[in-house]
Structure formats: structure tokens, C-alpha cells
Amino acid sequence: MISKNKYTVHESAIIDEGAQIGNGSRVWHFVHVCSGAKIGKSVSLGQNVFVGNKVNIGDHCKIQNNVSVYDNVTLEEGVFCGPSMVFTNVYNPRALIERKSEYRNTLIKKGATLGANCTIVCGITVGQFAFIGAGTVVNKNVPDFSLMVGVPAKQIGWISKYGEQLNLPLEGEGLAICPHTGEKYKLSGKQVYIAEE
């Protein structure tokens, strides 16, 4: 690893001029970061990661090996992208038809986990601290704290900030406590919130 002024980068990585990379970030083998990319502090880019021009990656994100973060994807703080998970940015691609003007915005909110080999179809929002299981295909917006699995994605429960499943029904009213942190979560309708003390 070569130490830059504020981050470290493996000698095999390519960082295009103009890319912004925050303090304490680590860029591993065979990574390519395009010139317009904005990457926050303490971010880890694993082996063979690609980061496009119109990409924003928040502080403390961890992007595992073989992930391509294409244009129009935004990751808020603390997002985890599992190995070989997939983002798209065109909904109906064709090799013979140019559709760069049709890129759809994808937003992954704070603290969300995108499991290994999952696919995030463009144009959706994944809510805060949601957990997308390995191999899941997400083609619709995902609520905060939701646990999603399957093809296509189906909600099977709720999950705490810590990453533990909460004992709550999928909808209605309820209160649950994270067994690790003691934090309280309130279900109201089809949404979960951290309960006010």
C-alpha cells in the first residue's frame, strides 16, 4: 500500500485525477476510481472495485471485492456492500441503443447492508439500516429497518441498527428491544422507528 496525504492506495489501483477520497480511506488491489467520484472518510474499497464519475460514497462505507458502483448511485454513511453485489443504472439496457441520458438515481441510506451477490435495480431507495440478504433482487423501495430476502425481494421482518432481527409483525403496532443495545423500536403501520425515551 502506498500512503497518500490522507488515504492509502495499493500500487495496482487507478485513481483518476479529480477524484475526491477522504481521510483514512483504503483503496485495495485493482480498484478504479473515476475522476468525478466523491468518496468520504474511512471508506474501504476492496479488490476489483469500480467507482463511476457520478457516484457519492459517504463516510465509513465498506465496499467488498468485485463491486461496481455505477453513475447515479449514492451511498450514505456506513453502508456495507457485500462481495460481488450488483448495482444497475439503466432499467431497460440494450447494447444497440444509447441510454446514458436515462440513468436512474439509486439511494442507499445510512447504515444499510447489501448482502453478497444481491442486485439493486436502479431507481429505488433502500432505507436506513435495512438489511438485504445475500442473493436478493431488489426492484422496489425498501423501508427503514426492514429485512429483505428472495427474488424478487420480499420483506420477512425488521432488524435493529446492530443487525439483530426484531420481534415485530410486518405491520400493525408493536414495540421491540434490541437484545444487544437495549434500544427500543416502535412499529406503526408499516414503518419502524427508534422509540423516543
Question: Which pLDDT belongs to residue 2?
Answer: 62
Asked if residue 34 is part of any domain, the answer here is yes
Asked if residue 101 is part of any domain, the answer here is yes
Specify the CATH number for the domain of residue 80: 2.160.10.10
Residue 138 structural domain: 2-166
Distances in Å between the alpha carbon of 191 and those of 38, 46, 57, 161, 170?
31, 33, 26, 15, 9
Asked if residue 172 is part of any domain, the answer here is no
Asked if residue 97 is part of any domain, the answer here is yes
Question: Which pLDDT belongs to residue 184?
Answer: 96
Question: Which pLDDT belongs to residue 196?
Answer: 78
| Per-residue pLDDT at 5 exceeds 80 | no
Per-residue pLDDT, averaged over 111-119, amounts to 98
Contact 120, 138 (CB under 8 A): yes
Per-residue pLDDT, averaged over 176-188, amounts to 95
Give the total number of structural domains in the chain. 1
Asked if residue 190 is part of any domain, the answer here is no
Kindly report the pTM of this predicted structure. 0.96
Asked if residue 23 is part of any domain, the answer here is yes
